[in-house]
Chain A
């Protein structure tokens, strides 16, 4: 099974502000197959986040083509993209981005509000996701009552609760201590191996990259050619 999940052709993104012309991404040809765990590496400012945002349809490319899960993202309306993202993409942020006034359970339940599921089903799904990340005993806790590692695990539960095919993570361990980071990486690897989720993770950390099955390097907006990964 080598179905292509992400496919970009000559994907470019430029930021034009006044006379400044910043090329964040230039002619990126990327292919990610179903079931891969991809690490995106590269120096600061090399365009890693930009690429991830384009894959998640959080931003639009300046030129080039991008197809994610067989969908040409440029052809969708604003509303359709929101819907598509809810169903197909789980996004994990470096700074967790939980809603502070909602409990762990409510945070995880939130994306399910956009599905036709009934209240009880939503809760069941959210509880299952929280148990999966090892937080079955923290359902009623608010984000401020959790450690950073736990917050990130809630965020991962939220990302997987709609059962998306694709998980995107932008430096998910960037704000965590070594032990918590290790937990998160194991969790992502497990989601990849046990549940067959395709994972694309941006990271600075070579150790983190070792959890990936494929490592891509970006430099100054260009994707470097692969050099003998497993």
Chain B
């Protein structure tokens, strides 16, 4: 019932150079957007899978991150007695006192060094992280200057590997194991024995945080309220999942910036598509007149040129997807304003993200094609025939 789509495909093929240039412009725009979305998706997955819904993270009141939280051992003893805390087989409460600090690691790609989180904890803290696995070596021995490093660090820093040493605090630390935990931020941390680390950092009494495991999800929320409202304790509690989700605020900046760049580029691509389509309408004026004489309505002329613009954009979108495909699975790090350390994560291109890129391309094609198509449809038959 309408002008065949083959007509559009062949016209795109006939003006190869213009088609490719316009499609490339669109593809770059789509590629930028997809890269940003893949980055954010990877970051989100990483931060989400770090939290356990049964875990409650306790900090000193007013502290918004483990790094700036001063947490005393006396407070910890009181915290342990709260109701709703899960216990292990031996009847000990699943509560982990932890200390967090940041060290600077130099790597080939970052000569100025990158901040990495060092966490001191006791065996119970390891036990509480259910997804955590040792992928090489063994856990650190309490009382020794030994560390276990996250898998992502091994990939990124040539000097961080089994058998080597790290230098921070008052001396050297042996790397005795490598750990991994799904997509979690733990993959970018260095773990050591709590007492060893705290004495090394001269902070034996003042630590950072406590991780508490609740008996169930309802108890977890109740624990959060009970701890936060206890005036004596002077502590803030938060579900661990919520804590890591809040860290995505650095993601928001990337997101905002990414969209901003993508939209600025999209405006450019839109005009490029518009320009291409205006030229096509002008060049095919006589054909438009002829089609009208054959009985095609103004609406089918509009639809045809509009379709052609969208097809052009789809081609661009497709190229854009191909351009970013090699980024899939690539590991990168992102600074985090809350923990002042870097979290490594994988860029993830999901079908949904790719679809989003295609939709974005279609919108560009549609906006760019609308006016030229309207212009084509508006022409009077005789004017169109004469212009050819």
Contact = CB atoms under 8 A, between A and B. Distances in A.
Contacts of A113: 1-4
B4 A85 contact: no
Interface centre among A82, A106, A111 (most CB of B within 10 A): A82
Contacts of A100: 14, 287
A83 interface: yes
Interface stretch (A51-59, A180-188, A197-205, A210-218): A51-59
A69 to B, nearest CB: 15
Contacts of B286: 97
A157 to B, nearest CB: 13
Interface centre among B10, B295, B388 (most CB of A within 10 A): B295
Given A101-B10, A101-B14, A113-B1, A78 B382 contact: no
B92 interface: no
Contact of A102 (B10, B289, B292): B10
A190 to B, nearest CB: 22
Contacts, number: 68
Given A82-B296, A102-B7, A97 B290 contact: yes
Given A58-B382, A59-B382, A110 B294 contact: yes
B15 to A, nearest CB: 10
Given A102-B10, A113-B4, A85 B295 contact: yes
Contact of B290 (A59, A87, A93): A93
A106 B7 CA distance: 10
A114 B293 contact: no
A81 B157 CA distance: 74
A79 B299 CA distance: 9
A114 B381 contact: no
A125 interface: no
A57 to B, nearest CB: 9
Interface residues of A, number: 25
B293 A91 contact: yes
A140 B293 CA distance: 24
A114 B299 CA distance: 13
Interface centre among B2, B291, B294, B296 (most CB of A within 10 A): B294
Interface centre among A87, A97, A111 (most CB of B within 10 A): A97
A111 B292 CA distance: 10
Nearest to A53: B382
A152 interface: no
Interface in B355-380: 380
B287 A99 contact: yes
Contacts of A153: none
A86 interface: yes
Interface in A34-88: 53, 56, 58-59, 78-79, 82-83, 85-87
B60 interface: no
Contacts of A158: 294
B41 interface: no
A114 B291 CA distance: 11
Contacts of B292: 58, 82
A53 B381 CA distance: 10
Interface in B270-300: 286-287, 289-299
22 contacts: A56-B293, A58-B292, A58-B381, A78-B297, A79-B297, A82-B297, A82-B298, A83-B297, A85-B294, A85-B295, A91-B294, A93-B290, A97-B289, A97-B388, A100-B14, A101-B13, A106-B4, A111-B294, A111-B295, A113-B2, A114-B1, A114-B296
Interface of B: 1-4, 6-7, 10-11, 13-14, 286-287, 289-299, 380-382, 385, 388
Given A93-B290, A100-B14, A110-B291, 14 more contacts: A53-B382, A58-B293, A79-B299, A85-B294, A86-B294, A91-B294, A97-B289, A99-B287, A101-B10, A102-B10, A106-B6, A111-B295, A113-B1, A114-B296
Interface of A: 53, 56, 58-59, 78-79, 82-83, 85-87, 91, 93, 97, 99-102, 106, 110-111, 113-114, 158, 162
